[in-house]
Structure formats: C-alpha cells, structure tokens
Amino acid sequence: MTDLPKQSRLRADEVSAELEIHRIERAVAAEEHRLDRQLEHLGEAEGAAKRDIEAELRREHWGLEPERPLAWEEHPPGPEA
C-alpha cells in the first residue's frame, strides 16, 4: 500500500503539468490575438499615412499628380533600353 501515495503524487504532478500547459496555451493565444490586432492597427495607420502623403503632394503640386509615382503605387514598367 505504499505505492498509493506515490501514485497520488505522480497524478497530482501530471495534473499540475497539464494545467500549466493549458495556462501557457491561453497566454500564447492571447498574445497572438493582441499581435493580430496590433498588426491590423498598423496596417490602418500605414494606409492613413499614405493617404496623407498623397494629399500633401497634390497640394504642393496644385492638385496635379506628382512627376513620378510614389514608391508604394503600382506603375507600369518603363521603356526597356
């Protein structure tokens, strides 16, 4: 009957380890969710910054498009030499 306390301790350790794993998994999921939200906000901020830059360039050029496209704009390839 001396194995019963040892088995109880082993089972308690096992349960404790499983609970710790679940706690870590929840923390990782929460961090992933936080980073996803942060990435979404960053994308929104990037879009707003690009729109602000484009608007400022148009003001500087009296409502006309700038001479060359902005780095983030898609533009057709130039003539090949």
44 inside domain? yes
17-74 residue pLDDT tens: 999 999 999 999 999 999 999 999 999 999 999 999 988 888 888 877 777 788 888 7
2 inside domain? no
Residue 79: helix, strand or coil by DSSP? coil
At residue 81, the pLDDT reads 44
77 inside domain? no
| Distance, CA of 41 to CA of 49 (rounded, Å) | 12
The predicted model gives 1-22 an average pLDDT of 90
Number of domains, the chain: 1
pTM of this structure: 0.61
76 inside domain? no
At residue 80, the pLDDT reads 56
Q: Which residue has the higher pLDDT, 38 or 78?
A: 38
Q: Name the residue range of residue 42's domain.
A: 7-61
